[in-house]
Amino acid sequence: EAQVTQNPRYLITVTGKKLTVTCSQNMNHEYMSWYRQDPGLGLRQIYYSMNVEVTDKGDVPEGYKVSRKEKRNFPLILESPSPNQTSLYFCASSLVAPKGANYGYTFGSGTRLTVV
């Protein structure tokens, strides 16, 4: 089944303890992206990647890191989590057509992160 898989689904952690949220897709998509969703603020893009070893900042990159060493994986790293990073996180992917168009986005099921 074609899908984007995020792990873990739920995570409670303490301030300052490094964590990684994994994202993997099995559709050979070039484009992958991380979003956070907060009440009243909608979806905000954290980082995105157009292909292996190509990453760029989104609208709210502070406090996050990403890497794209393989096409299928795009982990989100919080080096020193803080309570304001408590949120619902989504990973998404898509194919990239010539001239930059895409064929629509597939989203993971989300990771609910709580930082205390």
Partner 1 sequence: KQEVTQIPAALSVPEGENLVLNCSFTDSAIYNLQWFRQDPGKGLTSLLLIQSSQREQTSGRLNASLDKSSGRSTLYIAASQPGDSATYLCAGPVGGSYIPTFGRGTSLIVHP
CB 32 within 8 A of CB 68: yes
Of 15 and 26, nearer to partner 1 (C-beta) is 26
Q: Does 105 bind partner 1 (CB under 8 A)?
A: yes
Shortest distance (Å) from residue 85 CB to partner 1: 18
Give the 3-state secondary structure of residue 26: coil
Q: Pick from 38, 27, 28: which is nearest to 85 by CA?
A: 38
Residue owning tokens 């080096």: 79
Residues in contact with 95: Cβ distance below 8 Å, sequence separation at least 6, in sequence order:
27, 28, 29, 30, 31, 102, 103
- Please give the residues from 56 up to 85 whose contact with partner 1 meets the rule CB under 8 A: 58
Q: Which pair of structure tokens corresponds to residue 104?
A: 């629509």
Among 45, 67, 73, 86, binds partner 1 (CB under 8 A): 45
**From 21-29, 60-68, 71-79, 88-96, span contacting partner 1 (CB under 8 A):** 88-96
Q: Which residues bind partner 1 (CB under 8 A)?
A: 31, 33, 42-43, 45, 48, 50, 58, 88, 90, 92, 96, 100-110, 112
